[in-house]
A and B are shown apart, each in its own frame.
Chain A
């Protein structure tokens, strides 16, 4: 079977996710997560915005000090808004979710680190973003394919 593990030669992927994104996926996308990942926790060749460990440290610090002016929080709001807009949700859901994302307090962006089991994911589901050497995306990860290693 052609799995992501065989193609990338790595058994696990790592990703940093904000609670709000997970919660929205749970409520509106039946726990199908649109998630990017790298094949190591601290990929040296990726930029900071695509390094799960650096992102976790950064977001954790932002949440702890409630740094609502931090540009990373703004970036997350924009990314979440883009994701919702580009989904097939009805207009009423999009409007309500944009409102929720804009109004969300900083703790709603508390991070988790996920370990994704690449052995059980078919290669056809992999999207290569290509911006950095170790950055991939899966549009429909389900809870059984992930393990929350840092909640």
Chain B
């Protein structure tokens, strides 16, 4: 099974072998791509190969990788027939890169661990960048991406955004396909600070209670203050979920837990 052994290092290795071939036949184009010297690139390739260790003979993909590596070594050391070697290096560049691209399509990124959270990318953006989106559209983009991802866990639910109630505006309402299932009130925050958490959750609880006893609340955040990491993901009828925009996935088990409770309500109402 190819899918089982595709890890990011294999994809990177194919791409690096392609880049190394490029460095050999077109140094100007190589300089456009990177500041790394050929020596640095070689050392990166070798250390990745060392990381694969004895696995190199274990499956077709790794054998292919080793074969490309030896082709590259042979072509870079070729002194006679330089024109033919350049032609073959060009082919090697394209074939390695295409292989990396092809494998990347099968690659499923894991949600990032919190320590290297990408979710802070919004705050890392240059605030003076005139092309930058305003805060409101970032929030909206985040809300919509997270909601659509959540809907995959809640089939047949439908979403209404920016729902106005007499007292407040709700970011999103998830409407159930049948009366047996609960309404879900969704609020999105780019960042949940420890000092703000209780107030935000209290406000959400108030919104949820307006939709009946069975309604649930979901607070989706891009970044959660580390001081809150140890808190339970569910308190009363409110769930706190952390969504990683880059991998388009929820961190932890929060979304799965929410889904489980929602579908349990059908079972409870039947019994």
Contacts and interface: CB of A to CB of B under 8 A. Distances in A.
B101 A81 contact: yes
Interface string B13-36: 001101100100000111111111
A131 B22 CA distance: 15
Contact of B15 (A81, A96, A131): A81
Nearest to B94: A78
9 contacts: A26-B125, A77-B101, A78-B94, A81-B100, A82-B18, A82-B32, A84-B15, A86-B36, A95-B107
Given A130-B28, A131-B28, A143-B128, A82 B97 contact: yes
Given A85-B15, A96-B104, 19 more contacts: A27-B246, A31-B125, A36-B32, A78-B97, A79-B29, A81-B100, A81-B101, A85-B19, A92-B8, A94-B15, A95-B11, A95-B12, A95-B104, A96-B109, A96-B247, A99-B101, A129-B28, A137-B31, A143-B131
B contacts with A: majority SS:
helix
Contact of A144 (B12, B28, B94, B128): B128
A81 B16 CA distance: 10
B8 A31 contact: no
B105 A99 contact: yes
Interface in B111-131: 121, 124-126, 128-131
A8 interface: no
A125 to B, nearest CB: 11
Nearest to B48: A91
Contacts of B124: 30
Given A31-B126, A31-B129, A94 B12 contact: yes
Interface in A76-112: 77-79, 81-87, 90-92, 94-96, 98-99, 101-103
A45 interface: no
B110 interface: yes
B9 interface: yes
Contact of A143 (B8, B9, B110, B126): B126
Interface of B: 7-9, 11-12, 15-16, 18-19, 22, 28-36, 41, 48, 94, 97, 100-101, 103-105, 107, 109-110, 121, 124-126, 128-132, 246-247
Interface in A47-95: 77-79, 81-87, 90-92, 94-95
Contact of B100 (A22, A30, A87, A98): A98
Contact of A99 (B28, B104, B121, B132): B104
B86 to A, nearest CB: 16
Nearest to A82: B33
B105 A103 contact: yes
Contact of B107 (A22, A99, A137, A144): A99
A41 B9 CA distance: 41
Interface in A112-144: 127, 129-131, 137, 139, 142-144
A27 B133 CA distance: 13
B251 to A, nearest CB: 15
- A27, A78, A92, A129 interface centre (most CB from chain B within 10 Å): A92
Given A85-B15, A85-B16, A92-B109, A22 B8 contact: no
B51 to A, nearest CB: 10
B131 A91 contact: no
Contacts of A90: 8
